[in-house]
Every structure is written in structure tokens, then in C-alpha cells.
């Protein structure tokens, strides 16, 4: 029997901690590996902290201390914020759209490589859009999809008992453009084409395109437009891009 490996979030305070405790109690894992870092305030409690006094459950617990320094005696721990980590996850996800052996060493190369991918053409009448946090007017239903990250779902996979629930998301897509005049939507996704052909529902939340993908502004690709982050003014955006490039280069390319 293959083991089920669950990689939990690194959110160790507030509701993140409460969610982790409930997950561990529900899953009742046989083995738990906790990686501890030198910044003690970022660590979870030691031991089987999720078990209460009434629970008797045998757990093989492994606590691993991360190396504080690497071979050249430089500090390994890099200060990073949650926004950067979320962006890094999205970048790693959409990097799967490109060949694994493709040599990419800068963000400009990544942006232009993504821009060269032939997007999938989706007829608008064939898909439905479900907004997770708001309900726009019918006239603006598709305009809001331009240059966004969306969830890809298949409504036919829902069972009768779950018809009032949100369908299972099979992956993420990056909407490159929406052409209302031609009733077409263009997106890229690492989801296999055999699965992508069955997608008939787009789930739109509030996930923003990683800011480092906005650097190739000389291209006409919508997802590289500086208009994507509407809540940032131009000076703030320039500063954010510079900060992101510096931090991402430490996290990914080195």
C-alpha cells in the first residue's frame, strides 16, 4: 500500500495553527515529520501537540533541525513574507507549462517563455464562470477574467449528493486574453490536455498574478501588463517588482 504524504502549510499561528491541529486529529497520521528552523518563533510546539489528553494514538514523530548555515558558512535562513511564498508557488506551478529541460535563469526568460506558449482556445458559450467572492453583472462576467488566475473545474464530475457544492478543481489556468467579439477565451495551464478538454467551469477567486511576471512589459501579453495589480499605484508597483526580483532570485535561481 502506498503511503499518503500530506505537505501541510507553514502557517503556524492563529487560525492556521487551529486548522493544522484539526487536520492532524482528523487524519490520525502514523508518521509525522516536523522540520524546525533556527527562528524558534516560527516553529510549532514540540511533541504531539495536536493530541489532547483523552486521545491515545501511536505516532512516529521525527523532528529535524534545518541547517543554520550551508557549506560556505553563509546563513541559510532567508527572510521572506507570505506574499512572496504564494507568488513562488504559482511561479513553480506555471513553470510546469514549459519543458523541464528548458534552461531558464532569469525572470525575463521565464516571462517570455510563458508568452511563447500557444494558448488553449476555449469557446465562451461552452464554459460557465463561478465567482467565489462576488457576483458581477452578466455584462462584466467575462471581462473580469482577462489576465487572471482561475481554477479549472469539471461540473460533470460532481455526484448527486454534492450538486450544491463547488466542483472539484483539477488545476489552475492563466487567462491570457478574452475576445468577446469572437466568443473566445485563451489560457495556458499545465493540466494535461485530456483533462483540459473536459473543463466546463472556471472558478475565479482573488488570486493575483505573481508580480515578477509583470516585468516583461514590452510584450503584448495581457498577463504582463502593469494594469493587473489594480490596488497598486505606479511607484508602489515599481518598488514591489524590485523587491520581488531580489527576493525571488535568492529563493529560486540560487
User: At 200, is the pLDDT very low, low, confident or very high (cuts 50, 70, 90)?
Assistant: very high
Enclosing domain of residue 57 = 1-77
Q: Are residues 46 and 127 in the same domain?
A: no
Q: Between β-strands 120-123 and 184-188, what pairing exists: parallel, antiparallel or unpaired? A: antiparallel
Q: Are residues 70 and 89 in the same domain?
A: no
pTM beyond 0.85, yes or no:
no
- CB–CB of 61/222 below 8 Å? no
**pLDDT per position as a tens digit, 101-111:** 998 888 888 88
Compare 99 and 217 and report the one with higher pLDDT. 99
Q: Contacts for 229-232 with beta carbons within 8 Å, 24 or more apart?
A: none
Pick the last residue of a domain from 43, 77, 111: 77
Q: Return all residues near 221 (Cβ < 8 A) that are at least 6 apart.
A: 114, 115, 176
Compare 4 and 203 and report the one with higher pLDDT. 203
Pick the last residue of a domain from 52, 77, 102: 77
Q: Are residues 120 and 242 in the same domain?
A: yes
Q: Are residues 232 and 142 in the same domain?
A: yes
Pick the last residue of a domain from 77, 93, 127: 77
Highest mean pLDDT among 73-87, 142-156, 217-231: 142-156
Predicted pLDDT at 150: 93
- CB–CB of 130/203 below 8 Å? yes
Q: Are residues 103 and 219 in the same domain?
A: yes
- CB–CB of 105/252 below 8 Å? no
Per the structure, how many domains does the chain have? 2
Q: Are residues 64 and 109 in the same domain?
A: no
Q: Are residues 120 and 246 in the same domain?
A: yes
What value does the mean pLDDT take over residues 78-89? Answer: 75
Q: Are residues 57 and 22 in the same domain?
A: yes
CATH number at residue 98: 2.40.30.330
Amino acid at each position: 500500500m502506498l503511503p499518503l504524504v500530506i505537505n501541510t502549510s507553514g502557517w503556524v499561528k492563529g487560525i492556521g495553527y487551529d486548522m493544522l491541529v484539526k487536520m492532524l486529529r482528523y487524519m490520525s497520521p502514523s508518521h509525522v515529520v516536523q522540520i524546525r528552523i533556527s527562528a524558534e518563533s516560527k516553529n510549532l510546539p514540540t511533541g504531539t501537540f495536536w493530541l489532547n489528553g483523552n486521545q491515545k494514538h501511536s505516532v512516529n514523530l521525527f523532528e529535524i533541525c534545518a541547517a543554520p548555515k550551508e557549506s560556505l558558512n553563509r546563513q541559510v535562513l532567508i527572510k521572506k513574507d507570505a506574499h512572496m511564498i504564494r507568488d513562488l508557488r504559482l511561479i513553480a506551478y506555471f513553470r510546469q507549462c514549459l519543458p523541464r529541460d528548458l534552461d531558464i535563469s532569469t525572470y525575463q526568460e521565464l516571462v517570455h517563455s510563458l508568452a511563447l506558449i500557444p494558448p488553449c482556445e476555449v469557446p465562451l458559450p461552452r464554459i460557465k464562470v463561478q465567482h467565489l467572492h462576488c457576483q458581477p453583472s452578466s455584462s462584466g462576467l467575462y471581462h473580469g477574467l482577462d489576465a487572471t488566475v482561475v481554477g479549472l473545474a469539471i461540473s460533470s464530475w460532481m455526484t448527486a449528493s454534492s450538486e450544491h457544492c463547488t466542483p472539484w478543481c483539477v488545476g489552475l489556468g492563466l487567462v491570457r486574453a478574452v475576445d468577446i467579439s469572437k466568443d473566445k477565451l485563451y489560457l495556458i495551464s499545465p493540466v494535461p490536455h485530456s483533462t483540459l478538454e473536459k473543463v466546463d467551469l472556471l472558478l475565479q477567486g482573488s488570486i493575483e498574478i505573481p508580480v515578477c511576471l509583470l516585468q516583461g512589459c514590452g510584450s503584448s501579453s495581457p498577463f504582463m501588463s502593469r494594469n493587473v495589480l489594480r490596488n497598486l499605484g505606479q511607484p508602489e508597483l515599481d518598488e514591489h517588482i524590485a523587491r520581488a526580483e531580489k527576493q525571488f532570485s535568492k529563493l529560486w535561481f540560487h
